[in-house]
Structure 1
Amino acid sequence: MHSRSDDPLDAALTAATARICDAILAVQASNPVVVIDGRSGAGKSSLAARVIRAWPLRTPAQLIALDSIYPGWTGLEEGAEIARESVLVPHGRGLLGTWHRWDWEREQTAEAHAVDPALGLVLEGCGALTPASARLADVTVWVDGPRSSRHTRALERDGDGFRPFWDMWAAQEDAHMAAHDPQNLAGISIRTP
């Protein structure tokens, strides 16, 4: 994995991917669970996609983003609980899990997606790492960065659709951090520029 030395974010994500892949190998399981949490715009989705591409095991892994599950802009906590209950718990028991995609335009649940317990799993999103989900994960990751950088990246990614909800979402992140202390639950902490 080579990074472009002129891009500090790329370098940080490349180094983080290598750390996570090493941790996955250390688990010595064919279907490890990686939970990636962090503030909006910190680089969780980019990191999760890189981990999937670099997945170090023979069997592939599934990627689930909480952005596909949150039931609307006020649903950080509820989305994280849906993922724990419908994805992580069944996966940990060797059972097929099912989650429903949230249709942001229609503001309702949409089609169902299955989660194969025989395959590895990467779950990423704000709110993903709680004491309950940490017990079901093999590798736990916290990603954060400076507020100004995160804000810029989030708005570049999501455009003006996110702008009016930034403060409301940040307040939910603050509540999650106060209630669950995900930074201290994480075995790997990543700081992006």
Structure 2
Amino acid sequence: MWDQITEPADPLHVEAVVELALDVQPRCGSTAVVAIDGRSGAGKTTLAHGVAADLTSYGTVEVVHMDRLYPGWDGLAESSRILATHVLDPISRASTAAYACWDWDAGGWGETVTVQPTDFLVVEGAGSSVGPARTHAAVCVFVDADETLRRQRGLARDGEAYRPHWHRWARQEEAVFRADDTKARADLVIDTTAAGAPSARAGRST
């Protein structure tokens, strides 16, 4: 989950995303949304932490984690609409956004979190640049890695409780990303299998 990150992001990856964020026009009111999308265990949250930290040198920053918006283990397809409706649409109108967080232990919606319009909004997690959410994103990043490595990372991070859900979640990722053509539409594609420069850069179509 988003609050279990201990390792720093690759500085080259952070630099590549920040450079894009500083070179774009906001598409969500006056807020530049940086969507860090991709596969489970690829390193999205780690990258988002690094990007958000660097962007504080250039303006105000908020971070939204998709883990808090998924309505359960079968909720990936619905999450981009939830993000757009409850977070991005209000921010685009310069209004305070508010969204309910999914309580994974209780299996239902829990506390409500508010998000203020800021210079930058980093949204990380699978589905953060999909469908209606993409229209608000100034920068779309897709993070990927070798499947075996991603699974090892995911289990190391979330523990054995995540093992029964790995394939269940992976099937949803495959369906959502294929239907949306998410990776091909990204502004930047980063492969975290090995350290180094981002592996590809793509031109986005909306």
Same fold (TM over 0.5): yes
Matched, 1:14 2:11: yes
* SS across alignment from 1:129: coil
Give the share of equivalent positions with the same residue, in percent.
Answer: 36
Superposition deviation, residue 16 in structure 1 = 1.2
* Contact 2:42 2:150 (C-alpha < 8 Å) held by counterparts: yes
2:81: which partner in 1? Answer: 81
* Contact 2:60 2:118 (C-alpha < 8 Å) held by counterparts: no
1:6: which partner in 2? Answer: none
CA RMSD of aligned residues (A): 1.7
Distance 1:110 1:35 in 2: 24
The 3 A distance-change label for structure 1 pair 26 and 56 is: farther
Distance 1:160 1:189 in 2: 29
* Contact 2:62 2:122 (C-alpha < 8 Å) held by counterparts: yes
Superposition deviation, residue 56 in structure 1 = 5.2
* Contact 2:33 2:136 (C-alpha < 8 Å) held by counterparts: yes
Aligned length: 184
Give the unaligned 5+ runs of structure 2.
Answer: 1-6, 194-206
The structure with the greater share of residues assigned to helix is: 1
* Contact 2:55 2:120 (C-alpha < 8 Å) held by counterparts: no
2:141: which partner in 1? Answer: 141
Distance 1:92 1:73 in 2: 29
Distance 2:57 2:21 in 1: 8
Give the unaligned 5+ runs of structure 1.
Answer: 1-8
Distance 2:68 2:118 in 1: 22
Distance 2:159 2:117 in 1: 35
Q: What TM-score do the two structures reach when normalised by structure 1?
A: 0.89
What does residue range 69-148 of structure 1 map to in structure 2 within 5 Å? Answer: 69-148=69-148
Superposition deviation, residue 133 in structure 1 = 1.8
Q: What TM-score do the two structures reach when normalised by structure 2?
A: 0.84
